[in-house]
Structure 1
Amino acid sequence: MKKIYCLIIDDEPTSQEVLNQFVSDIDFLEIKKVCNNAIEAEEIMNKEKIDLLFLDINMPLISGLSFYKSLKNPPLVIFTTAYSEYALEGFDLDATDYLLKPFSFERFHKSVLKAKNILNKDNSQIVLKSNKKLFLLKLDELLYIESLGDYITVHTEHQKLIVYKTMNSMMGILPTHKFIRIHKSVIINFNKIDFIEGNQVVIKKNKLPIGQKFKLELLNKIKGI
């Protein structure tokens, strides 16, 4: 069975102990590290492959919500907190689930199964909601995605959809071997690049900007690093 690599981020020793034990009781989960804050977690995520975060919301230095919003290519996340008022914002970030402390192993297991089903899903297509309709999109037909305020514009071979979703949450459901963020407001299908000229990627005659902080990642992907 394929392992799901986890990171626990929580500043409370008791919560760390509970999560550590619950994760250890599920054979397809493997803990990479237990972190006390987001700074520690960021260092680990730069070195290790992480599939799932167990992320506390109320933490010193940086809150769990702020940390997750800052991630360029976020893994799945299950938020954990003692405060129910954060649940709505957590789900707005496309969280896999939200666990209100103290939670039982049964409730934890249910959340983990959600994550497992998402990670094992068919990566050839996605479902997006636009204009009160659900669209089943083949990923091979998706060209690029642009930020549009609180929405995104999804450009495919045949249509353009306006979707209520964040760029971070979109990167969370797209396979990273096919899609890459080249600007804070642009995600592209790497296989659809026609050419790169200066600080622009051209796809089907559309010129898309390359942000400075994303340029090295794009060049490394092109070189196959």
Structure 2
Amino acid sequence: MHKLRCIAVDDEPFALDILADDMAKVPFLELVGRFSNPLDASVMLQREPIDLLFLDIQMPVLTGIQFLRTMAKPPMVILTTAYEQYALEGYELAVVDYLLKPIPFERLLKAANKAYDLYQLRQGVISEPTVTATAEPEPADFFFIFSEYREIKVFYSEVLYVEGLKDYVKIYTTGQTRPLLSRLTLKAIEAKLPVSRFCRVHKSFIVALDKISSFQRSRLYVGPREIPVGSSYVDHFEQRYRQ
């Protein structure tokens, strides 16, 4: 297995230590440099081949975003920050992922896997799966929506619930701190979701059945969020949920 050569940049030594410890647990990541400011990191980036850069945003002298804009050919980048307001700007710069501190290890691992998949794709080492004549295609575990001027892949397993707002929907997921907003009707998004995993519980809400923590007849809870259950949906929902 090829190891991705990584460097990490963060002006907080404690944050660098935690990041380094977590990266050491991922077998295909190799941390070859750690820096407290991007100017020092730039020397290594110019001198050695680097596959992946873990980059903090809020730093003195030069922010991570500013540093990223100075690079003509940056490596793959995963942004790490305590501030979610930079997410859109980060994705406009084609970063691999955007991690909010404190970063859970499973979230870091997911971002690392995305980077590794992208590396393999760029290297042309991902082969097409062998399909025999009798093989049945596996159902996709994701769907696409158009949001923020781009096509976004959404995995069914990450969807918490969907809220309808007339001609728009908000899709709340485990991987995003804010909902994905797309110009779709709730009926249109319902057609994209497998009926075995999702249930319409209100004229304005669809929920993932496995994400429900508790319910009463007129309301249910997905984590701390209370979602109403419409009177015309309650019998069908209770039957589905108890199954």
TM-score range, shorter chain: 0.5 to 0.7
Q: Which runs of 5+ in 2 are unaligned?
A: 125-148, 152-243
> Structure 2: which amino acid aligns with 1:30?
E
> How many positions carry a matched residue from both structures?
128
Cross-structure match for 1:106: 106
Cross-structure match for 2:38: 38
Q: Which runs of 5+ in 1 are unaligned?
A: 125-131, 135-225
Structure with more contact order per residue of length (Cα contacts < 8 Å, sep ≥ 6): 1
What per-residue deviation string (whole Å, max 9, x for no partner) do you get for residues 88-138 of structure 1? Answer: 1011101100000001000000000000000001556xxxxxxx999xxxx
Cross-structure match for 2:87: 87
Assess, with a 3 A threshold, how the Cα gap between structure 1 residues 33 and 122 changes in structure 2: closer, same or farther.
Answer: closer
Alpha-carbon distance, 1:46 to partner: 1.4
What per-residue deviation string (whole Å, max 9, x for no partner) do you get for residues 1-33 of structure 1? Answer: 001000100000111011100111111110111
RMSD: 2.0
Q: What is the percent sequence identity of the aligned residues?
A: 41
Distance 1:122 1:82 in 2: 30
Say which SS state the counterpart of residue 73 (structure 2) adopts.
coil
Distance 1:133 1:45 in 2: 30
Cross-structure match for 2:29: 29
What per-residue deviation string (whole Å, max 9, x for no partner) do you get for residues 180-199 of structure 1? Answer: xxxxxxxxxxxxxxxxxxxx
Distance 2:49 2:101 in 1: 27
Distance 2:20 2:77 in 1: 16
Question: Which structure's CA Rg is the greater one?
Answer: 2
Cross-structure match for 1:74: 74
Runs of 4+ aligned structure 1 residues displaced above 6 Å come to none
* TM-score of the two chains, using structure 1 as the length reference: 0.54
Say which SS state the counterpart of residue 33 (structure 2) adopts.
strand
Alpha-carbon distance, 1:61 to partner: 1.4
Say which SS state the counterpart of residue 47 (structure 2) adopts.
coil
Residues 184-195 of structure 1: pairs in structure 2 closer than 5 A: none
Cross-structure match for 1:12: 12
* TM-score of the two chains, using structure 2 as the length reference: 0.50
